[in-house]
Structure 1
C-alpha cells in the first residue's frame, strides 16, 4: 500500500477562494513595470537597474513609502500604461484564487498631474475586461482622493467619476494622510446620492475619532483599516452590533508602524470581539506581501484554518458582489475547508 501525503497548509491556501477589498492599484505596481514605464516615457530621475529598483522598493519608513508610491503614480501617462498595470495587478490576484476584488486607485493624483479622467478609465477598463475574460474574477473600481489634498481635490475627483466613470466603478474613498474626515461630509453625501458606496480609510494611523467621523460624517459602508477602533469600547460595541466591516492589512500596519509588532496586532482581538473583519494586502510589492501572504501572516498570529476560512467568508459578506456570486463563493469556501480538514485527518483540523 502506498502512503498518501496529507495536503499541506499551502495547498489549503491555494485552494481557498478569496476576496480582496483593500488593495491599491498604483501600490501594486511591480518594480519591473515601474522601470519599463519610466524608460518608455524617458523619466530621467529614475534611470536605474532593475536590481536597484527592487532594493528601492523595500519598505524603510512611511516617507519612503510615499516617495515610491508617488513615483509609481508618475510613470502612468497614457491609457496603455493604465491598461498594462490593470492587467498585471488583476492577473496577480487571479493567480492567488481571488475571485472578486474592489481595487482602489488614486484618481486625484492623476488629475492633479493633468491626466484626463477618460484616459485613466479607458485604460483600466481595457485591462479589466481582458483579464476577466481570461479568469474567474470580477473587478470593481474604487477611485479615491488624498485627504491632505483638501476638499477641492475630492470635489474634482468626484466630478470626474460622475462624468466619466464606467459601471464598474463601485465606490468612493478618501485616503492619503489621515486628516479630519468631517470636512468631506457633503462630498460623500453627494457620492452616495449617485449610488457610490462610501469606503473611506480611517483608524489606520489615527484613533477612534477618525472612525466615528467616517461613520457619522461620511456614512461609511465599510472602513479601510480601522484598527484604531479597538481603543474605544463603545466603538467596538457599535461595530459589532452594526457588523460594519473593517478591512485589515496586518503587514501594511506593521510596515507603516501603525503597530509595533505582529504580536501586538489587534486582528485576533477584533475577531474575538465579534467584528466583521476582512483580510487584505493594501500595497503588496511595496510591503513585500500579497493576499495569500496575509493569510500566512494571520496563521502566524495563531489563527487556525477554520478562522482563515471565516476571514475569507467575511470578505464575501463585506464586499458588493452580486448575491448569486456571494452565495456560490460562501459555499465553495465551506467545501474547501471541509475537504482539507477531512484530508488532514482527526485532530489536525485546527492545524495551519
Structure 2
C-alpha cells in the first residue's frame, strides 16, 4: 500500500470526489432513501413502516444480520407498481452520478417482489425506463443483477430465473443469490442454467457465512465475482486461490460494520485483502440503510490507512471487474491514472 500522508485532508477529499468510479455491489431496494420510502409507504398505506423520516432512520439501527433482512423485506412492501420502481431507480441513478459514478451493476431483489404478487415484467419496465433516462440525463450507465434470497430455497431461485429468462430486458447482465447465507450446493444446477443463458454468476458469499460459502460459490456456482467475501481472509489457502485466480471480491466496509459482520471499522480486512494481492472493489451495498454512500466508503478506506494510490487501485479494480466493454474500461482506467498523476501519484 502507498502512504496516506502524501496528500492533505482537503486534497484527498478532492481526489475522492473527482475519482471516476464504478459501483458493483449495491442493491436497488436497499438504496431507497427515507424520504422516498416514506412517500411510497403513504401512497400504498404500508402500516409496518415508520411514519416519519426520523422514525425510518431509527428503524435502520440493526441489531444483527437477520434483523437487517427483516427490515429490508418490510421496506420493499412499499414498491408496488411500475412508477414506484422507476422513481426509485431514477433516484439511485441521480445520486450515483452526483458522486462521479460512471457505471453501476445493481442487484434487484426480484423474488422479493414476485412473492408479493408484483410481476417481474412490472419491475423490469420501471427500472428499464429509469435506466434509459439516466443515461440520457446523467451519462451514467446502469445494469441489473436480479437475485433471490438463498434461505427461501432453490424453488425461489427457479421461479426468479424463469421470470428473468421470460422477461429479460437489455439491462440485465447477471444472476445472484443473497439473503441469509445458507449452503450453496442446492443452487448449482440453477446457476448452471443461468450461465448457459448468458447471465453472469454474481452470488453473495462470505459476508458472515464463513470461508466455506466462498468456496462453494467458486466451485459450485462458478462465481465471476464474490459479493462481500471478507470471510475468505480466515482461510489462507482460499486467499491464495482468490489471488491466483483473480476472481474479484466486492467489499462494503460500512455494511459489514452495520450488520455486525465486524465489531469495529478498524477490524475491517480491506487493507489486508489488498496486501494479499486480491482484486478488491469498493461498494456500498445498501447505502441509506447503512448511512453511507460511495464517497464515504472511499473516505473510510483512507481512514483505514489507504493512500491515494490505493484508492485509485480500488477504482481501477472496479472498472476491471465490471462487465463494461473493453473500450469503455480503457477510457475509464486512463481517467483514473490521469487523476492520480495530477495529484502526484
| TM-score bracket for this pair, using the shorter chain length | over 0.9
- 1:346 aligned residue: none
The one of 13, 16, 20 equivalent to 2:19 is 16
User: Which of the pair has the greater relative contact order for Cα pairs under 8 Å at 6+ separation?
Assistant: 2
Distance 2:48 2:284 in 1: 29
* Equivalent residues of 2:49, 2:75 under 8 A apart: no
- 2:303 aligned residue: 300
Shift of 1:47: 5.8
Shift of 1:158: 0.1
Distance 1:99 1:161 in 2: 25
Distance 1:89 1:73 in 2: 15
* Equivalent residues of 2:50, 2:56 under 8 A apart: no
Which of 1 and 2 has greater Rg? 1
The one of 37, 52, 57 equivalent to 2:55 is 52
Question: Which deviates more, 323-332 or 62-71?
Answer: 62-71
* Equivalent residues of 2:251, 2:282 under 8 A apart: yes
Distance 1:78 1:107 in 2: 13
The one of 330, 340, 345 equivalent to 2:343 is 340
Query: Matched residue of 1:21: which SS?
Result: strand
Question: Which deviates more, 238-247 or 251-260?
Answer: 251-260
* Equivalent residues of 2:63, 2:260 under 8 A apart: no
**Structure-2-length-normalised TM-score:** 0.95
The one of 253, 258, 269 equivalent to 2:272 is 269
Distance 2:268 2:46 in 1: 39
Shift of 1:66: 2.1
Unmatched runs of 5 consecutive residues or more in structure 2: 1-7
The one of 165, 170, 174 equivalent to 2:173 is 170
**Structure-1-length-normalised TM-score:** 0.93
- 1:65 aligned residue: 68
Query: Matched residue of 1:313: which SS?
Result: helix
- 1:212 aligned residue: 215
* Equivalent residues of 1:58, 1:288 under 8 A apart: no
* Equivalent residues of 1:185, 1:218 under 8 A apart: yes
The one of 150, 154, 162 equivalent to 2:157 is 154
How many residues in Structure 1 have an aligned counterpart in Structure 2? 338
Query: Matched residue of 1:205: which SS?
Result: coil
Query: Matched residue of 2:171: which SS?
Result: coil
* Equivalent residues of 1:181, 1:217 under 8 A apart: yes
Unmatched runs of 5 consecutive residues or more in structure 1: 342-348
The one of 226, 231, 246 equivalent to 2:229 is 226
Query: Matched residue of 2:147: which SS?
Result: strand
Q: How does 1:1-352 map to 2 (within 5 A)?
A: 8-46=11-49, 48-341=51-344
Query: Matched residue of 1:54: which SS?
Result: helix
Shift of 1:59: 3.7
- 2:3 aligned residue: none
Distance 1:114 1:45 in 2: 18
Distance 1:27 1:7 in 2: 30
* Equivalent residues of 2:50, 2:59 under 8 A apart: no
Distance 2:133 2:326 in 1: 24
Deviation per residue, 1:35-81 (Å, 9 max, x gap):
10011112234361222223223444334322321122100000000
Distance 2:196 2:50 in 1: 45
* Equivalent residues of 1:7, 1:340 under 8 A apart: no
Deviation per residue, 1:210-243 (Å, 9 max, x gap):
1111001001000001111111111111111110
Shift of 1:7: 5.8
Distance 1:46 1:268 in 2: 37
Distance 2:211 2:53 in 1: 41
Q: Which runs of 4+ in 1 moved over 6 A?
A: none
| Structure 1 residues 6 and 204: alpha-carbon distance in aligned structure 2, compared to 1, 3 A threshold | closer
Distance 2:255 2:49 in 1: 25
Distance 1:176 1:216 in 2: 20
| Structure 1 residues 260 and 51: alpha-carbon distance in aligned structure 2, compared to 1, 3 A threshold | closer
